[in-house]
């Protein structure tokens, strides 16, 4: 909203200094500061409200050290992340940008699913919460929306060849002299660490005849659904000990912010020889607000946690990360960038599958890990959760750096 106000003041009234709101970097900086302020200052008020409503965590006895101390800690703290993200975005971002609109819808959609799940657990006294099939239906529904918009919306375009740009114009949104390229609709994505690394999902249908690209949505939309479902569930599983999900997510989101900024700037994309995605740079404002909200949430969520994010936060985080990765055409980097999520997911899948297999074969179930998800395995081995979280953060940072290296290492 402030963006449009200052745009009017700059272009219609020519008031000096108001043009600074045209710059993505300025608005991103303002967004991260505002979200940090909201999450740290007003976060305490939300926590107190949750405590007064007796929305506390019910902890099952898993035989983990310090587990009993967590009982009664306010949950549904994901509301802090959502509020601290959306307020700066609504004030500072270009709300007519298709990517920003998608991210706002994603935040509200996944936040609602998570809120319903937490509500059922706390107020209906149902430990299972929202039935799994309804969560999946919600995730699939979001995947359909995101996939449809990214495929059919006319503003979602790319340019894979930025080497032949010779028309220049000053565009404040990109913070520097930027080129005007020829753009096209495409389902192309990026294969990391390979030269000539654009891959078009439509090519999977090349056997279908000359007009096969008209049916690329049959491939693209299911892939979007799968990614959103997998990443949101991965974030949900990672939210098991104080500060783990919020910290690792902040690292991944900050990395995606760098990808969004360089992909949305023709000069940087040309220099790095990567796909140029018009209008995607505006996502940097959303990402900055989101990172600020996650870091501010950590103020209260690090050990010993004063609040848990609950499914309200974890499902929202996973959905946003998935949509960001798809929007900047870096979804094939998710196994690396979100390696912590992947490890947590796989630990559960492997543990359950092996248990069922051995029970059927030997008559008794056997386990590979002491407990799953993976962070509980290390707790069972006697590591303090603060050490586990710190080491997982370090691994997440290394994976983020490795992901960024893919910009040039091919």
| Contact between 373 and 348 (Cβ < 8 Å) | yes
Computed from CA positions of residues 233, 236, 240, 241, in that sequence, does the dihedral angle turn out positive or negative? positive
Is residue 42 classed as helix, strand or coil in its secondary structure? helix
Question: Could you count the other beta carbons within 10 Å of the beta carbon of residue 187?
Answer: 22
Residue 167's pLDDT is what? Answer: 44
Residue with tokens 């990672």: 238
Short-list 307, 304, 371, CA closest to 69: 304
- CA 290, 240, 129: angle at the middle one, nearest 5? 90
Residue 160's pLDDT is what? Answer: 66
DSSP code per residue over 44-56: HHHHHHHHHTT-B
H or E stretch at 348: helix 339-362
| Contact between 246 and 298 (Cβ < 8 Å) | yes
78-115 b/e (C-beta count within 10 Å ≥ 16 → b): bbbbbbbbbbbbebbbbeebbbbbbbbbbbebbbebbb
Q: Is a pLDDT exceeding 60 seen at residue 119?
A: yes
* Among the ranges given (14-18, 146-150, 233-237), the one the predictor scored with the smallest mean pLDDT: 14-18
How far apart are the C-alpha atoms of 119 and 339, rounded to whole Å? 30
CA 144 to chain centroid: 17
How far apart are the C-alpha atoms of 375 and 380, rounded to whole Å? 9
Residue 66's pLDDT is what? Answer: 57
Per-residue confidence band for 340, with pLDDT thresholds at 50, 70 and 90: very high
Look up residue 189 and give its two tokens.
Answer: 């994505």
Residue 185's pLDDT is what? Answer: 86
Residue 161's pLDDT is what? Answer: 63
How far apart are the C-alpha atoms of 98 and 116, rounded to whole Å? 27
Question: Could you count the other beta carbons within 10 Å of the beta carbon of residue 211?
Answer: 8
Residue 171's pLDDT is what? Answer: 54
Q: Tell me: the pLDDT tens digits for 372-384?
A: 899 999 999 999 9
Short-list 293, 228, 304, CA closest to 41: 293
Residue 61's pLDDT is what? Answer: 54
Mean pLDDT of 126-132: 82
Q: Is a pLDDT exceeding 60 seen at residue 170?
A: no
Q: Is a pLDDT exceeding 80 seen at residue 14?
A: no
How far apart are the C-alpha atoms of 160 and 155, rounded to whole Å? 16
* Among the ranges given (54-68, 185-199, 392-406), the one the predictor scored with the smallest mean pLDDT: 54-68
Q: Is a pLDDT exceeding 90 seen at residue 178?
A: no
How far apart are the C-alpha atoms of 12 and 339, rounded to whole Å? 49
Q: Is a pLDDT exceeding 50 seen at residue 177?
A: no
> What 8-state DSSP symbol labels residue 176?
E
* Among the ranges given (2-16, 22-36, 376-390), the one the predictor scored with the smallest mean pLDDT: 2-16
* Among the ranges given (32-41, 47-56, 275-284), the one the predictor scored with the smallest mean pLDDT: 47-56
Residue 124's pLDDT is what? Answer: 79
Q: Is a pLDDT exceeding 80 seen at residue 6?
A: no
Residue 166's pLDDT is what? Answer: 47
| Rg, C-alpha atoms of the chain | 22
How far apart are the C-alpha atoms of 317 and 321, rounded to whole Å? 6
| Contact between 348 and 365 (Cβ < 8 Å) | no
pTM summary value: 0.91
Bigger pLDDT: 73 vs 196: 73
Residue with tokens 């900024």: 261
Q: Tell me: the pLDDT tens digits for 48-94?
A: 988 888 776 666 556 666 565 676 788 889 999 999 999 999 999 99
């Amino acid at each position: 909203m402030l963006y449009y106000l200052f745009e009017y003041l700059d272009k219609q009234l020519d008031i000096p200094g108001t043009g600074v709101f045209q710059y993505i970097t300025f608005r991103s900086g303002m967004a991260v500061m505002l979200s940090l302020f909201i999450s740290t200052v007003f976060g305490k008020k939300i926590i107190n409200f949750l405590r007064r409503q007796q929305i506390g965590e019910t902890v099952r006895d898993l035989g983990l050290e310090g587990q009993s101390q967590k009982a009664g800690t306010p949950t549904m703290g994901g509301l802090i992340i959502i509020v601290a993200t959306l307020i700066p975005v609504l004030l500072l971002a270009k709300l007519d940008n298709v990517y920003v609109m998608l991210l706002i819808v994603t935040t509200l959609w996944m936040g609602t699913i998570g809120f319903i799940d937490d509500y059922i657990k706390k107020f209906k006294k149902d430990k299972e919460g929202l039935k799994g099939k309804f969560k999946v239906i919600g995730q699939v529904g979001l995947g359909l929306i995101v996939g449809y918009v990214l495929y059919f919306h006319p503003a979602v375009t790319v340019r894979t060849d930025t080497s032949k740009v010779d028309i220049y114009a000053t565009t404040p949104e990109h913070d520097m002299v930027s080129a005007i390229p020829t753009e096209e609709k495409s389902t192309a994505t990026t294969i990391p660490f390979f030269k000539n690394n654009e891959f078009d999902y439509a090519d999977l249908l090349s056997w279908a005849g000359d007009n096969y690209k008209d049916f690329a949505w049959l491939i693209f939309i299911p892939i979007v659904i799968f990614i959103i479902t997998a990443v949101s569930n991965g974030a949900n599983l990672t939210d098991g000990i104080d500060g783990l999900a919020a910290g690792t997510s902040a690292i991944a989101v900050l990395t995606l912010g760098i990808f969004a900024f360089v992909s949305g700037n023709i000069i940087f994309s040309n220099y790095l020889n990567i796909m140029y995605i018009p209008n995607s740079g505006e996502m940097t404002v959303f990402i900055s607000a989101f990172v600020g909200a996650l870091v501010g949430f950590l103020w209260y969520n690090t050990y010993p946690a004063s609040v848990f994010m609950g499914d309200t936060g974890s499902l929202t985080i996973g959905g946003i990360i998935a949509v960001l990765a798809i929007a900047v055409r870096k979804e094939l980097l998710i196994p690396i960038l979100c390696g912590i999520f992947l490890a947590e997911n796989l630990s559960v899948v492997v543990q359950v599958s092996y248990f069922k297999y051995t029970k059927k074969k030997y008559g008794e179930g056997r386990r590979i890990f002491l407990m799953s998800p993976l962070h509980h395995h290390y707790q069972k081995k006697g590591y303090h959760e603060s050490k586990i979280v710190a080491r997982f953060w370090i691994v997440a940072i290394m994976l983020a750096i490795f992901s960024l290296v893919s910009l040039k290492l091919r």
